[in-house]
A and B are shown apart, each in its own frame.
Chain A
């Protein structure tokens, strides 16, 4: 067989049109990961709770638990307009996790109940406190957890519908410099921290017109995650302390709706290809507003115009079963950015992304499996900025994402 190193090189060299943008994290299942997160039409494991809950009806195993963690090593590079100044993020990695469990009520039951927890949206970028964009952003860390109790019903032999209730909990940390300084030349800082919650749902339909073909449609609703009791703290020279007191703030973050159309075709028992197309309704993310309980002449509410647009992502993945023990998967994706020209900022310096993935599932024991997945992505170099921030330059992002997953099923 092809050694993995060649597989990776092949992917990097030839798959320039591969496909999630914005702050969406599409690393929600280790097997799908290997296929660049295609596979909503497949019943690979309990991670279908996220990708398409309808697919759980076609799971071979009656009981399946699946858990894992990804390590996202993001490297954002920034170069100023002239090119003399370059900078990048300093944070090393973030670690989105996932946990899924599914259980068919009786061996031949039409009903499957399942549960999932994952981090569907998030982003962490930390820059040096004195970097050129310090008054735009020093640190942003957004983490969301989604808790998904799910029910799936097999309508007929080849049609199934699944639905989950989604509860989102989120955590936001945002730090940016304030351009006022004390006599030592130290600039001020605003630090906003808060926890938020919101609800939504996920519905998926899977149809298998033949044994080989499976078609899937999934809809994840928009969710408004409300942050009610955030704390805003300001470090400013003492003479300004009265104008910048510690205050509460409220905010809300709209998590976009996502429609996914998936196709999977089994060319043989060993070889299957899957294609997913996602459309993410990022239009909802038009402004990010922080409403402070206290306002002064110096401290006005913060409003950042985002003006995201809806964006498609295309994902192609394949799997090859070498036998009962080893299954290899690979994939490629092209993920279009929701960030429009004139709204590009270093807190989310997004651009169209291309990436590829490769991985192995090992089943050393009948009930126990290990998934090793590796994804690599790059953004297409993007030059721009936002009029609101007056911060311009060129960005390029590379990210390497190893994922480790475990599965126990019977």
Chain B
């Protein structure tokens, strides 16, 4: 009897400790060679977020996340030109001194012009770091022999990557200079692609072309088509030249890789945060505006109305198909009567014709990317499709993620660039594609480990 009970209890105790087990796969690189991975691209590749490039953002960028996975399967060094300062840095567009910079944004509880307490993105300090003060060569971090792998340059357009002197500050006036690249260019008169080549790349990701279209959109479509200023749309010929030259160089070096196409940037919260009819007025105000704009035939009613804009000299109301950008000062809308008695200037508005131009150039650029990829049998990561899905809403690990501003959990506080969670999701898109196309087995990132918007 005793024996019976003892063995009974023994089995019972043993079985309580019995945990389910699973077969675990082994990570491998498949046919890819990650010995020297280089990332080439603009703001997304750089890790630009919250209105500035910061060390934190660089570390969270999808190429850095990818390189960590590559390192598990034989990947080599991935040298990132990390910023020195902690606040982040973005050239201040409004400052009289061109060397002035702004730090990154963070959410803060502040009182708006009406004295209402609001949670708003605010710069974390008066000024940003000095990393890109190109009046002082001591901020250049390149020293002879340095090899970098991370060529994400905020605002870099397709052709900039092959443009000699993109790091030469005398080109500043014509928008053919980039201080973020100036920091670590090996030769300020040389080309970025030459620095890429110096890394002897075996694998690359190319996410280039978004700046060719989005910079035009960010500035309210004040730029020109087929021109090379910052706010302009790159011509298809120049775009193709840029992409082709970059790919020729990479493939010539024997590197394999992936190309990302360009999403429909107008779904980004920067263009959607403020609704066309967010002008909320009472009956008296409506009457006042009706009188003011009688000549233009504009009518206003109590409640929500379309904002009044100045479209190249024509005073009219915004259409439901048009956008007002996040560049518009919210205080001016709330307290300085912008969009009501004061028409909003064109620089803050995307009109129907500008939107049509953005859509058509996006398509042109994507066709070129696809053509150049096809010609070399390179796979294209369909970021356009990914962002369309995101726009409809994606649920990952219990997190509902959309393109909505702040709440959507993907975009950072500038409404244009991904936050840390967004970058991780992009990294996963690349990982999935690499696994599929190179027969690799690389672990995707667990999205629930990454933060979306950070609240005070």
Contacts and interface: CB of A to CB of B under 8 A. Distances in A.
Interface in B385-407: 394-399, 407
Nearest to B396: A390
Contacts of A177: 398, 448
Give the 9 A-B CB pairs with smallest separation, nearest first: A77-B20, A135-B398, A390-B395, A237-B455, A136-B398, A396-B20, A73-B16, A84-B443, A400-B15
Given A77-B20, A82-B443, A180 B455 contact: yes
B125 interface: no
A271 B407 CA distance: 66
A77 B21 CA distance: 7
B455 to A, nearest CB: 4
A360 B4 contact: yes
B70 to A, nearest CB: 15
A268 interface: no
A179 interface: yes
Interface in B137-169: none
8 contacts: A83-B22, A132-B397, A132-B448, A182-B454, A185-B454, A326-B1, A387-B395, A390-B394
B19 A75 contact: yes
B421 to A, nearest CB: 8
B397 A4 contact: no
A372 B5 CA distance: 9
A21 to B, nearest CB: 17
A127 to B, nearest CB: 12
From B16, B119, B407, name the one whose CB has the most chain A CB atoms within 10 angstroms.
B16
B4 A398 contact: no
B72 to A, nearest CB: 10
Contacts of A210: none
Contacts of A387: 395
B272 to A, nearest CB: 17
Contacts of B441: 82
A136 B397 contact: yes
Nearest to A378: B20
Interface string B19-30: 111111101000
Contacts of B198: none
B107 A239 contact: yes
Interface stretch (B6-14, B240-248, B305-313): B6-14
A176 B398 contact: yes
Given A82-B25, A180-B452, A390 B398 contact: yes
B25 A83 contact: yes
Contacts of A326: 1
Interface in B433-451: 441, 443-444, 446, 448-449, 451
Nearest to B24: A83
B22 A239 contact: no
B438 to A, nearest CB: 15
Interface of B: 1, 4-5, 7-8, 11-12, 15-16, 18-25, 27, 107, 109, 119, 394-399, 407, 409, 441, 443-444, 446, 448-449, 451-456
B109 A239 contact: yes
A5 interface: yes
Interface in A35-74: 71, 73
Given A239-B119, A387-B395, A79 B448 contact: no
Interface string A1-18: 001110010000000000
B37 to A, nearest CB: 20
A8 B11 CA distance: 8
A362 B8 CA distance: 14
Contacts of B16: 71, 73, 93, 400, 402
Contacts of A410: none
Given A86-B22, A130-B449, A398-B18, A238 B396 contact: no
A75 B454 contact: no
A183 interface: yes
A158 interface: no
B399 A135 contact: yes
A295 to B, nearest CB: 15
A56 to B, nearest CB: 29
A88 B21 CA distance: 10
Given A179-B448, A185-B451, A240-B455, A84 B15 contact: no
Contacts of B452: 179-181
Contacts of A132: 397, 446, 448-449
Contacts of B19: 75, 77, 88, 398
Contacts of B11: 4-5, 8, 374
A133 B18 contact: no
